[in-house]
Chain A
Amino acid sequence: MYMEKSILELHEMLTSGKVTSAELIKESLEKSHEVQEKCNAFVTILDDAIPSDVTDDLLSGIPYGIKDNYSTKGILTTASSNTLRDYIPFYTATAVENLSKHGAVAVNKTVLDEFGMGATGTTGHTGAVLNPWNRNRMCAGSSAGSACAVASGVYPYALGSDTGDSIRKPAAYCGIVGYKPTYGMISRYGLLPYASSLDTCGVLTRNVKDAAIVVDAMKGKDEHDMTSWDSSNMHLLKSIDGEVKGKKLCYIKELVSLDNYPHANDTLKAHIKNFMEVVEKIKSIGIEVEEVSVDKKIVEAVPNVYNVISYAEATSNMSNLTGISFGPREAGSNYIELMKNYRTNNFSPLIKRRFIIGSYVLQKDNKERYFYNAQKLRRIITNAWLDLFKNYDAVVLPIEAGPANYVDLSKNYNEYDQELVPLHENLQAANLGGFPSIALPDGFVGGMPVGLSLTSKPYDDENMLNIAYAIENTLGYANQIAKENTNE
């Protein structure tokens, strides 16, 4: 199985002639159909994908997947929404264009939660994506199809996008690596937006070096995106040397300590226990790890601030979806009816709920109380994290309260869920501050993978990836392929 190998291994095999690009693509497409059958991970499988020349470029000739919210010229791009079920763009996103220049070959487009909104991977217009470790469980979202496919060994990497945790949470639930770089490192031109000030392009892989290789190729200042910046002096792969002596990490007591969760169930207890054991392993390679305390109000404010800002931006960003100049035109005797029918018939209830909240917080009478306060709190939260980065190279935290939830939502119900919200949603802080953040697999709870996150200060991606690489080596979960467990 070539597609279970890392990019570096595949590149070596391609250049030495042990395998051809065509063979890799054939295997990847076959695997795509298999995974589609089992887990419903794809909107489109590109059966006519063309092999590319193998060059010195590490990505040349190697297949990959594209989350279906990246615009691809001539190829259906739906954002997993009925509103765009027939939309074929006239242009390709810069990030995808950059990968093409490196000889990468796209073989499919992966399912997401509609427009990247949703954390379950179950709300796309083609149906729920199932977790390849256990098909009763979800992949989490929104980059569900990408996480599922990479964990299943369809290819070594797939593109994701991360507005709150949409790369990192599915990566953790599927036992793989998910890297969200600093905001603006990769151009958003051609990424169908959810919330523009938070949206970040990134990648899901099975090891840290692969993540560095892919983002090295995707990144760069783009004249089409004013928020992109010049990172030509950053070399992510080259900066990984595994030398971490003297590096300092911290974790936040208000999120990690079980004292915060008086009603903790066994799963959470096992997850936290695993995390604390991982912390000890990290210490064993010469990295200092300390517990820090952050004002609990700041920790608890994150999801509320995220919701207000992201829903407000989403409401506005998706106002272009009217069915007038693109998308399936709905009937109506005038433009208002036409727009109303289009939006009413095609958006899922989850999105409509977010639009209503987003509109509400921007209305004149509410803006001061909600939107402006959220903006102020965003600054306060960001500053609190920046204070941590003065003393620490990265913040390390467990992802979520355990492994993947059930697709059948009623099985996840817990009357004490409210106290877990800060833990569920803590990854959003990296989006509020534009920080680089990476998810790594760090063990198993009940036979399902769990993960941790590392988050660093803006532009410190090289340092963060190097630490992640060292931790990955210590923990030994690199290049993990999902093994279906059916004992439930």
Chain B
Amino acid sequence: MNKYKALIGLEMHCQISNTNSKVFSSAKNGYSEDANVYVQGVDMGFPGTLPVVNKEAVKKALMMSMMLNCTQPEYLYFERKNYYYPDLPKGYQITQDTKPSPIGIGGEVEYFFEKEVKRAKIDNIHLEEDTALQSHLPECSLLDYNRSGIPLLELVTAPAFHSSDEAVAFLETIRSMYQYAGISEADPKKGQVRCDVNVSIMDADADEENPDNWGTKVEIKGVNSFGTVKAVIDCEIARQIELKENGTYDEMEQQTRRYDEETNSTKFMRSKQDAIDYRYFVEPNIPRIKIDKEWLEDIRKEIPRLRNARMKTYIEEYGIKPIDADTLTKEKSTSDYFESIISNGVKPVDAANWMNTIILGSINKLSITINEFFIKPETIAELIKMTYSGKISKNQAKNALYEAVDTNKNPLDIISESGIEQMQNDDELLDIINKILDANPSQVDDYLNKGLSNIINYFLGQVMKETKGKANPAHAMELLKQEIEKRK
């Protein structure tokens, strides 16, 4: 690899999942296991139906365009991309061409890679409609039009990356932006994120700013998870290096390939000469739409704090370890949960500790998302605050939470049912302590007169045993010391 370096460009398709309806129809924008339940005529290309632009989708697209530091257009145009395919019911996709201007053009994004801040140039981002979903069975192929017409953003980067890890770090950043801005769940499991990858290699010492030095571009289409993006890039770089080494690289045409998982290799699909001519032209059913400056300003104000900003706060203001901050912000829902605990009066470091130990562990164990976790952040906050006031110990709190997860109960109920709180009644506790002290005169003597101060732990053990663990150990210790001193 040292003789060569790779140039990698990405096309990332991400559904806008957070609109009520589809981008050009009033059908519900949703994910369903049942086929063909979210469908209007236009989603199936029925004769005479017409597209109507969803303003909310445009708004979210413009927000993403801003977050990528792209330029937004003065007028919005849509184009038709014409080709025949069974998943494309109209025979064309309504999309945007780079001319006259898509929803965003010429941006730049910062992302972290190996503790460094990197910048990637964005060529453009455009708003389009998703296609229907095909499933191929031995005897037939099935079409599910639920997906047809879901708003889709296609982000195209410059050839900005040099390794598969760098590319994936960038994709993770973009994914978090979609999630944090409330534009998309960006869930690859629901097929909401799909990538095409462009790979070429060039001599390591050549200047990559000069496109003349670039190698032959190979596009690998339809890569549906970030893990696969990494595998695809790695095996394609290896393939191209091998061509260089055996002297056949120059014969390679610009081409489109696909990834074959079984052999972990890319397979030839078509050469550039056979590329489809999409015969783009302006969509005549959608008049150009003026984008108001004031509207843009309003949208800009609505951009929420993104992952990088949150991580910075967690590390610099809250004193949370970078590795923990990274975990806490990986999913927006996790970060929101964490911040909700804090806003209910818990110290950030404590909240982070609870998150990274019990809470994330529990949801992993249950294989659910944090939004599906039945214990709400307010409850967690109450639990932690009880340890602040000394009503219960940290261990008691954590044990209650573990039990709650196992039994599907509210941890606060577990605390109150177990009576731990009732041991707050000092009279009862004092009574128990004095009985124990009375029963163990020689140990009291050891403590008071022979300097065996560790023996106090023996007494505490007795107290906890006697109270069946309901006493708050810290508080019990305090009372123990007080009572034993009285016997001096």
Contacts A71-B48, A316-B92 known; list 5 others, CB within 8 Å: A71-B47, A224-B50, A320-B45, A362-B280, A367-B281
Q: A196-B284, A359-B279 are in contact. Are A316 and B50 (CB under 8 A)?
A: no
Q: Are B91 and A89 in contact (CB under 8 A)?
A: no
Q: In the complex, how many angstroms separate the beta carbon of B115 from the nearest chain A beta carbon?
A: 45
Which one of B48, B92, B277 contacts A191 once the chains associate, using CB atoms below 8 Å?
B48
Q: Does A416 contact B (CB under 8 A)?
A: no
Contact count band on A = 35 or more
A244-252, A321-329, A344-352, A389-397 - the one binding chain B: A321-329
* Chain B contacts for A226, CB-based, 8 A: 50-53, 285-287
Q: In the complex, how many angstroms separate the beta carbon of A382 from the nearest chain B beta carbon?
A: 15
Q: Does A79 contact B (CB under 8 A)?
A: yes
| Chain A residues in the interface with B (C-beta under 8 A) | 70-71, 77, 79, 84, 87, 89-91, 93, 188-193, 195-197, 223-227, 312-313, 315-316, 318-322, 324-326, 335-336, 339, 359, 362-364, 367, 371
* Chain A contacts for B51, CB-based, 8 A: 226
Q: Are B47 and A319 in contact (CB under 8 A)?
A: no
B78-86, B152-160, B224-232, B292-300 - the one binding chain A: B78-86
Q: Are B48 and A320 in contact (CB under 8 A)?
A: no
Q: Are B92 and A189 in contact (CB under 8 A)?
A: no
Q: In the complex, how many angstroms separate the beta carbon of A43 from the nearest chain B beta carbon?
A: 15
Q: How far is the CA of A312 from the CA of B280 in the complex (A)?
A: 10
Q: In this complex, what residue of A is CB-closest to B81?
A: A316
Q: Are A319 and B48 in contact (CB under 8 A)?
A: no
* Chain B contacts for A93, CB-based, 8 A: 48
Q: In this complex, what residue of A is CB-closest to B132?
A: A325
Which of the listed residues B82, B89, B90, B279 has the most CB atoms from chain A within 10 Å of its own CB? B279
Which one of A90, A188, A225, A362 contacts B46 once the chains associate, using CB atoms below 8 Å?
A90
Interface of A is mostly: loop
Which one of A77, A188, A326, A336 contacts B50 once the chains associate, using CB atoms below 8 Å?
A188
Q: Are B44 and A325 in contact (CB under 8 A)?
A: yes
Q: Are B86 and A324 in contact (CB under 8 A)?
A: yes
* Chain B contacts for A191, CB-based, 8 A: 48
* Chain B contacts for A318, CB-based, 8 A: 91
Q: How far is the CA of A225 from the CA of B49 in the complex (A)?
A: 9
Which of the listed residues B46, B50, B85, B92 has the most CB atoms from chain A within 10 Å of its own CB? B50
Q: Are B281 and A322 in contact (CB under 8 A)?
A: no
Which of the listed residues A197, A321, A322 has the most CB atoms from chain B within 10 Å of its own CB? A322
Q: In the complex, how many angstroms separate the beta carbon of B76 from the nearest chain A beta carbon?
A: 12
Q: Does B449 contact A (CB under 8 A)?
A: no
Q: In the complex, how many angstroms separate the beta carbon of B58 from the nearest chain A beta carbon?
A: 13
* Chain A contacts for B285, CB-based, 8 A: 196, 225-227
* Chain A contacts for B135, CB-based, 8 A: none
* Tally of A-B Cβ pairs under 8 angstroms: 105
Q: How far is the CA of A315 from the CA of B278 in the complex (A)?
A: 12
* Chain B contacts for A84, CB-based, 8 A: 47
Q: Does B141 contact A (CB under 8 A)?
A: yes
* Chain B contacts for A320, CB-based, 8 A: 45-47, 89-91
Q: Are A325 and B281 in contact (CB under 8 A)?
A: no
Q: Does B41 contact A (CB under 8 A)?
A: yes
- 9 cross-chain pairs, A with B, having the tightest CB-CB distances, nearest first: A319-B91, A362-B279, A320-B45, A197-B284, A196-B284, A190-B48, A71-B48, A192-B47, A335-B86
Q: In this complex, what residue of A is CB-closest to B134?
A: A335
21 contacting pairs across A/B (C-beta < 8 A): A70-B48, A71-B48, A89-B47, A89-B48, A91-B46, A93-B48, A188-B48, A188-B50, A192-B48, A226-B51, A226-B53, A227-B284, A227-B285, A227-B287, A316-B82, A320-B46, A320-B47, A320-B90, A320-B91, A325-B89, A359-B279
Which of the listed residues A223, A224, A312 has the most CB atoms from chain B within 10 Å of its own CB? A224
Q: In this complex, what residue of B is CB-closest to A93?
A: B48
* Chain A contacts for B53, CB-based, 8 A: 226
Which one of A189, A190, A195, A339 contacts B84 once the chains associate, using CB atoms below 8 Å?
A339
Q: How far is the CA of A312 from the CA of B287 in the complex (A)?
A: 18
Binary flags per residue of B83-100, CB closer than 8 Å to A gives 1, else 0: 011100111100000000
Q: How far is the CA of A326 from the CA of B280 in the complex (A)?
A: 25
Q: How far is the CA of A371 from the CA of B80 in the complex (A)?
A: 14
Q: A223-B52, A227-B287 are in contact. Are A79 and B47 (CB under 8 A)?
A: yes
Q: Which residues in chain B, 283-338, are within 8 Å of chain A measured between CB atoms?
A: 284-287
Q: How far is the CA of A320 from the CA of B49 in the complex (A)?
A: 11
Q: Are A326 and B281 in contact (CB under 8 A)?
A: no
Q: How far is the CA of A76 from the CA of B89 in the complex (A)?
A: 21
Q: In the complex, how many angstroms separate the beta carbon of A405 from the nearest chain B beta carbon?
A: 30
Q: In the complex, how many angstroms separate the beta carbon of A27 from the nearest chain B beta carbon?
A: 31
* Chain B contacts for A312, CB-based, 8 A: 281
Q: Are A319 and B281 in contact (CB under 8 A)?
A: no
Q: In this complex, what residue of A is CB-closest to B141?
A: A335
Q: How far is the CA of A190 from the CA of B89 in the complex (A)?
A: 17
* Chain A contacts for B92, CB-based, 8 A: 316, 319
Q: In the complex, how many angstroms separate the beta carbon of A433 from the nearest chain B beta carbon?
A: 15
Q: Are A189 and B91 in contact (CB under 8 A)?
A: no
Q: A319-B90, A335-B86 are in contact. Are A189 and B48 (CB under 8 A)?
A: yes
Q: How far is the CA of A192 from the CA of B141 in the complex (A)?
A: 28
Q: Are A189 and B279 in contact (CB under 8 A)?
A: no
* Chain A contacts for B90, CB-based, 8 A: 319-320
Q: Which residues in chain B, 239-286, are within 8 Å of chain A measured between CB atoms?
A: 277, 279-281, 284-286
